[in-house]
Structure 1
């Protein structure tokens, strides 16, 4: 019984919030263009289901593409930064400086360079999500004890063998921790880009709906983005449990 309650706790809290939201809108007669009731949002979502599905698929595809590019680039940079002190000293400060730039300010430049459409959304999703991967991979590589490195050198292991057999496996929990953060950031990047320079995607749909004061449709877009983010987050967790279950045995017990 306790296990069932634990699994359904989040659903119960979400349901309670929706009930409070619905009752507040009805009791206080809040106008729909300010805060639509959940039942109205559900009605609008069904009414525009085809249009929402089309734009949601566009956002999901651009986010996934940008996310996978961020994984590849993030792992390569993370390995370089974590394995070489020279690369760390020369590249890491630049990465920190780049990450501190508001990405909304970068999107217009991306649009100038790549044009309007899908490419800016992919690039923005990549730009906003690769930094956590770099940092966590580099941190994971640095977590290997110096004593273990010394023992491996004495046993004749090359630098590549130490990276492949010890350092990178040790960094996998850090990598998957960063992926769960990066996927949510990738969705933010895609939606921000779609609101600025795209004719498709949930961001474009929300911007168009807000200009027509269709607030319920805007909320539908927000909820769809949340659902897709949670789904991708859950996929990352499942892959993590299969690949690095050894790192969480004590927690599972």
Structure 2
């Protein structure tokens, strides 16, 4: 029995409505939750008369940060440059390194211990040594950011390249595909969701790495601003810099998510969206 075309036309928007509501919920629900938390924070600070040097209210944080907005923008720009530079270096090195690790077991056995060694060293302890080695400039901060961001990206890329079904590889060999064609037409397209998972982790860790580097060696940046503000008991300003760092991490993460939805529409997460 065929459905009435008029009824089908009427029900079609109703079937699409849950998907539209779900997409809208991804935007307004986090905003509402954050707004409620900020209101509770403000009320608690006023009701319990919490001293500003311990926990400033959101209104005090906003007032202090807005008053220093020019300096905040300068320091924020410096941190953003460090984050992006370290992230781009990690991408440029991690992808070829992951291909090399998955192409040869000998290379993997030789390089994996070195990778683990670089991650076992505390970056806060390594930063002063890099300052002595590379000089008191931007380079040590970029290196620290790179060292913190690149490891999860290498692991995700390697996992994606190794997760290709054997049937696809056998089909490629049956079609007489070269190793380069196997990499570019089979392995990399299949591994792209894994790659973007690593990119999302790397961009978040790049913000952490930049702040760690600025704590040790910097004359500008939001991390340096937090250190100098707390040294002079300007706690609201330090909180403002901390919130800006969080916003920066969220925005950069969402930029990677948008790029993933454009370039990798076949990803499972994108299909659900």
Give the TM-score range, shorter chain. Answer: over 0.9
- What's the RMSD between the two structures over aligned residues? 1.4
Aligned length: 252
Q: Distance in 2 between matches of 1:113 and 1:188?
A: 22
Instruction: Give unmatched runs, 5+ long, in structure 1.
Output: none
> Which of residues 198, 203, 208 is equivalent to 1:188?
208
Q: Residues 69 and 126 of structure 1 are in contact (CA less than 8 Å); yes or no, is this contact kept in structure 2?
A: yes
Q: Residues 71 and 133 of structure 1 are in contact (CA less than 8 Å); yes or no, is this contact kept in structure 2?
A: yes
> 1:1-253 residue pairs with structure 2 within 5 A?
2-3=21-22, 4-248=24-268, 250-252=271-273
Q: Displacement of 1:27 after TM fit? A: 1.0
Q: Distance in 2 between matches of 1:196 and 1:103?
A: 10
Q: Distance in 2 between matches of 1:6 and 1:176?
A: 20
Q: Of the two, which has the highest radius of gyration?
A: 2
Q: Distance in 1 between matches of 2:30 and 2:38?
A: 12
Secondary structure at the aligned position of 2:158 is classed as: helix
Q: Residues 81 and 138 of structure 1 are in contact (CA less than 8 Å); yes or no, is this contact kept in structure 2?
A: yes
Instruction: Give unmatched runs, 5+ long, in structure 2.
Output: 1-16
Deviations 1:6-57 (A, max 9, x none): 4311111111111111111111111111000000000011100000000000
Q: Residues 55 and 202 of structure 1 are in contact (CA less than 8 Å); yes or no, is this contact kept in structure 2?
A: yes
TM-score where L is the length of structure 1? 0.95
TM-score where L is the length of structure 2? 0.89
Moved over 3 A (4+): 1-6
